Chains A and B, each alone.
Chain A
Amino acid sequence: MTKEFKMQQIFEILGWFLTNIVLLITISVFLAYVLLAVFSAVTLRRYLRKNSYVDYNSIILAPLTPSISVVAPAFNESKTIVENVRALLSLYYNNFEVIVVNDGSTDDSLDKVIKAYDLEKVNYFFDYRIPCRRIRGVYKSKNRSFHNLTIIDKVNGGKSDALNAGINVSHKQLVCSIDVDSIMEPDALLKMVKPFLEETDRKIIGTGGVIRIANSCDIKGGQIKRINLPERFLARVQVLEYTRAFLMGRMAWARLDGLLLISGALGMFDRETVINCGGYSIDTVGEDMELVVRMRRYMTEKGEKYEVTYIPDPLCWTEVPSTLKILGRQRRRWARGTAETLFTHKKIFLNRKYKNFGMLGYPYWFFFEWLAPIIEFFALIFFLFYIIFSTPNWPFVILLFTFVYTFAVSLSIWAVLFEEMTYHKYEKKRDVLKLIGTAFLEPFFFHPLTLVWAIKGNWDYLRGKRGWGAMDREGFRDSSSTAG
């Protein structure tokens, strides 16, 4: 056998192997997406029907509602902190407190908030039930109108550490963790508390809500006044991504009892369970996912019946990165966080003791969220080599590409339909058409980047990288300031 022939054989074998593996993964992923979408559609329909009989105002007036602590970590949020705290204080609920944790900001965030809300340091005794970095002080307002506001000033320790400090200071039954720069819908707490009120013999340990994208929206006084589709392509693509993930994915996973992630931007948890689990982990950048996984493990291992629920209503608006550099950093962090959580809790993998959480939820994340991008990336690299050094089976390659492309686009368009049939937040028809146009471009311009970021994130994980990296924000478009 000649040397060229040997090379040819190796390529043929590798090509056959990768083609079939990629094909297998693609078909499995698509099948999973279809099943999840169908499940989501059924669950969403039922939820909306059920919800049409619900009057959330009855929660405001009821004496039986659980108390809630809204914990918002803040780091260098000087530009927006005063407005954001005001928005949090004006949430509709009768028994809640707002705890803002200044995580060692190097700007004037603390000074601004002290001045705006007439705060003074109080003699607070800290009970460090969950370990966190040193708390320098707790501030309360002299003005009784802000009696439910607490500001914690602590040494910088990262988002998880700040949340843990907030939970230590909180004394309410439920903890709602949010990003201070996110904008919550005024009735978000009412909607999120409802699953806890509907608790039966299964303890509700956490509830997640839908996060929507606020880029290009008109914002006044920390509240969304007009919803617009992001002007920039990169942010628009993320609208599609979020819609797919939240309306088509998580809704179904909650129903299947396999939900592994409640977004860090908005989540409500049973405080005692969080404390008993040890709070947020400071060893991972995927602290939101890690907490949910750990809480579920804790409940299963304790032999207690529990549930993690999910609300499809858009409850929180957040600014997403609109430049490649910042988005890349965020996605690398997500990929690293996923790997960290999955490998820390590898015990759950296909472990029947954890039921759907171990048999469905975890394997889905392992194969489709963590492994699939890695395989896809290497398959693409190999394909480039194959084109250079051999002759690919072009007809099949084109057929496969068309299959993947058309399916991916149709899935995105279905997600737009889900949004349209449920909450139709984009009033302008032009916005919906733009979103559909974005769906056609996404596989070419955005998807390859997500693969690169996934690889980089996993590389960071292998190197044992720590920390978050900078997250520069552009700041919301505040119509009050533009008008003025």
Chain B
Amino acid sequence: MRIGENIQFNLRRYFFFIISVLFIFILFSGNGFATAEDPAGNVINGKYSFSVADSLSKIYQETDPAETYRMLIRKAEWAYEYRQYDRAVDFYQQAIDQRPWESIPFERIEEIMARTEGGKLFFIPYVDFEKSSALIKILLLVIIYSIISMILVLIIILFHRNQMEGEARFRQVLKEKYQLLLMDYLFSDDGLDAKPGKINKIVADNFKRQILLEEMKDLIVNLSGEHADSLRDLYNKLNLNKDSVRKAFSKKWHIKIKGFRELAFMNIKVANDEIIRCLQSNNSILRMEAQLALVRLNDNDRFAFLDHIQRPFTKWEQMNVHEMITGHNLEVPDFMKWLNSDNRTVVIFALNMIKVFNQRHAWKQVVELLNNKETEIRKTAIFILGELKIKGAVPALKHHYKYEVYENQLAIVVALNRISDESALKFLIMVIDKEDDVQLQIEAAKAVRDMGDAGQRALEKLMYSDYKNYMIIIKHVLDKRI
């Protein structure tokens, strides 16, 4: 009984849902449904025959006004129940004529008016929707909204494309034009002095100014010395630096980033405090751009921001900082000084940079990190020791093996393979012998394989071991195609 088993839900969890369903259900249920049988039982296919009620009313004519009033109320209610609202209103009016002091007919007429109001909305002739007018209003409003939004969206789609294509073309034309203008400024004798009006026009226009700025930024990357200074002069002369500073202080993060980038490229330090403030921003991209700007702007200590990072320093940020160092030929700091950082991610970054920039002198500090309480730091340290091929780390790696988690044990075996020191041979054979995990065995066998003749001999011996059948693992390891 698969269904039975599956539908045994915990009712407690349904409670909130059931309550909310009931609430909305009641809200939209309108005035209910009309199926009551009239006193004479005259229901024909859901429609009440009023001829019978009319004939009954004749019998009561010329009798007591109170009785006539009651009869009219009953008739009105039947009519109401069978959706004949105009007739119901007629009967209630007659009832008012009989006993004007009674409030019920007035209330009922108001109720009918309210109920039928929805149908009369938006120039629609009277329609009986038999639902609350609020619901009808909502539905009609949504329909109108949908139709209007369809038309608007259609127009936006068609115009957006034309606008986008036009803007792209215009941008391209301006880019080429400004490139020539800047080259002219840098490499001709007249510079821009010959055309002051032209350049002022560009700077006065927001769109054009932005493109000019972008061109300057692109150009300065490839310039150095006199030409770079000359371009910076122009940037300052045109007051574009003020524009960049204004952007850097903007409340909008994406504008701030533009400002940071421009200031970093033009080496303007007036907004450094604001950039430092953004190092702790919740916005990851703003945070990263602040880091990159500071690497360029903070000449005295480019990587000082690493001392102040409180949030995780993501791999993405790490990669961008690394790219900044290599891409702009910046002086590489000694990353050893961040190995004791309180921020786990900064330590990992420092470890990775020690490997990338081959700072082997830091190996003893890296070995110390094998005692760190963070598994990930220990794993990275193991990896770095392997990549740097630090033979002095072999005893420490062997020692830590038995205390490590599985993942780091695997990392140790891989590191020993990279270091490829014969002093680890016995240990690696022991791993193959004692461990049940196939990955550990394979990695250990690979490490033995790569240990030259001694390793080859050890593997051959293992292949024909009576203790365990290693044949399949060793064949796998010896297959160089894998």
Contacts and interface: CB of A to CB of B under 8 A. Distances in A.
Contact of A24 (B25, B128, B136, B161): B25
Given A49-B254, A50-B285, A64-B315, A396 B46 contact: no
A406 B161 contact: no
Contacts of A30: 142
Interface string A2-31: 101100110011011000110110011010
Interface string A402-442: 11001101100110110011001000010010001000000
Given A23-B28, A200-B311, A391-B46, A124 B142 contact: no
Contact of B28 (A12, A27, A343, A407): A27
B3 interface: yes
Given A122-B481, A124-B476, A351 B352 contact: no
A395 B482 contact: no
Interface in B130-180: 130-131, 136, 139-140, 142-143, 145-147, 149-150, 153-154, 156-158, 160-161, 164
Contacts of A410: 145-147, 149-150, 153
Interface string A115-134: 00000101111010000000
Contacts of A363: 17
The dominant DSSP class at the A interface is helix
Nearest to B138: A27
A472 interface: no
Contacts of A272: 407
Contact of B319 (A23, A62, A432): A62
Contacts of A8: 35, 43, 45-46
Given A23-B28, A53-B285, A395 B128 contact: yes
A301 interface: no
Nearest to A342: B6
A140 B314 contact: no
A5 B37 contact: yes
Interface in B411-453: 438-439, 442
Contacts of B142: 30, 403, 406-407
Nearest to A424: B161
Interface stretch (A191-199, A261-269, A287-295): A191-199
B476 to A, nearest CB: 4
B42 to A, nearest CB: 11
B33 interface: yes
Contact of A416 (B157, B356, B442): B157
A63 interface: yes
A399 B161 CA distance: 35
A20 B147 CA distance: 24
A194 B316 CA distance: 7
A64 B9 contact: no
A482 interface: no
B143 A24 contact: no
B50 interface: no
Contacts of B24: 24, 27-28
B318 interface: yes
Interface in B202-236: none
B380 to A, nearest CB: 11
A402 to B, nearest CB: 5
A4 B156 CA distance: 56
Contacts of A198: 284, 314-316
A375 B472 CA distance: 57
A406 B147 contact: yes
B39 interface: no
B482 A393 contact: no
B123 to A, nearest CB: 15
A402 B143 contact: yes
Contacts of A407: 142-143, 146
Given A64-B322, A413-B150, A400 B130 contact: no
A127 B438 contact: yes
A122 B356 contact: no
The dominant DSSP class at the B interface is helix
Nearest to A171: B439
Interface string B275-303: 00000000011000100000000000000
Nearest to A28: B24
B186 interface: no
Contact of B473 (A49, A125, A140, A349): A125
A172 B136 CA distance: 59
A406 B143 contact: yes
A287 to B, nearest CB: 19
B29 interface: yes
A142 B481 CA distance: 8
A395 B284 contact: no
A204 B319 CA distance: 18
B130 A393 contact: yes
A122 B314 contact: no
Contacts of B407: 272
Nearest to A343: B6
Contacts of A95: none
B167 to A, nearest CB: 13
B139 A64 contact: no
A349 to B, nearest CB: 6
Contacts of A23: 28
18 contacts: A12-B33, A12-B46, A13-B33, A13-B35, A16-B32, A16-B33, A24-B21, A63-B322, A127-B442, A198-B315, A198-B316, A343-B6, A350-B17, A395-B129, A399-B143, A406-B147, A407-B143, A413-B153
Question: Lowest 9 CB-CB distances: which A-B pairs, in order?
Answer: A125-B476, A406-B146, A410-B146, A197-B316, A350-B13, A123-B475, A127-B438, A62-B319, A343-B6
Interface of B: 2-3, 6, 9, 13-14, 16-17, 21, 24-25, 28-29, 32-35, 37, 41, 43, 45-46, 119, 127-131, 136, 139-140, 142-143, 145-147, 149-150, 153-154, 156-158, 160-161, 164, 254, 257, 284-285, 289, 311-312, 314-316, 318-320, 322-323, 352, 355-356, 407, 438-439, 442, 472-473, 475-476, 478-479, 481-482
Given A20-B29, A64-B352, A351-B13, 5 more contacts: A2-B41, A64-B319, A122-B482, A349-B13, A410-B145
